[in-house]
Structure 1
Amino acid sequence: MVEYTCGCEDTFYELCREAGLTYIRRITRLDGAVQAIHETYRWRCEETHEVWIALLNGEAQ
C-alpha cells in the first residue's frame, strides 16, 4: 500500500502498488466488519495518481 484515506470511516480507500502497476482499493464496513472490497484495474502510476487525486478531492465518478 502506498497511501490510504482514514480507516475510521465506514468506507475508505487504499492506493496500492503491485508488480510496477497501481490500483485503488475501496473497502466498506458495517459495524466494524468488512462488507465488501472492490479494486480498480491495474494502471500505470501516472494514470492511477490522477484518479486518486480526483477521489481525494471529491471529483471521481
Structure 2
Amino acid sequence: MPTPDLATARWFTSSRSANNGDCVECAVLPDAVAVRDSKDRTGPTLLFSADQWTAFVTRLAADHVG
C-alpha cells in the first residue's frame, strides 16, 4: 500500500472520548484508515488497509457482544 499524504487528512477522535488526552485519532482515507496518538500528533502513525480496519472493528464488536 503506498504511503498516503497525511498533511491534509481530517483527523477525529471518538465521540465517546472523555477529553482527558488519552485518546487516539483516526483519519479515514480513500483506501485506508490512519491512527495516531492524540498527545503526539507528529509522532508515528499506524496505517491500516480498508480490509484490515474492517476486520479489526468487526472483531472488536464481536468480542464486545460475546
* TM-score interval, smaller chain: 0.3 to 0.5
Q: Which has the higher strand share?
A: 1
Q: Which has the higher helix share?
A: 2
**Under a length normalisation based on structure 1, what TM-score does the superposition of the two structures give?**
0.46
Q: Which fold has the larger relative contact order, with Cα–Cα distance below 8 Å and residues 6 or more apart in sequence?
A: 1
**Under a length normalisation based on structure 2, what TM-score does the superposition of the two structures give?**
0.44
**Larger-gyration structure (1/2):** 2
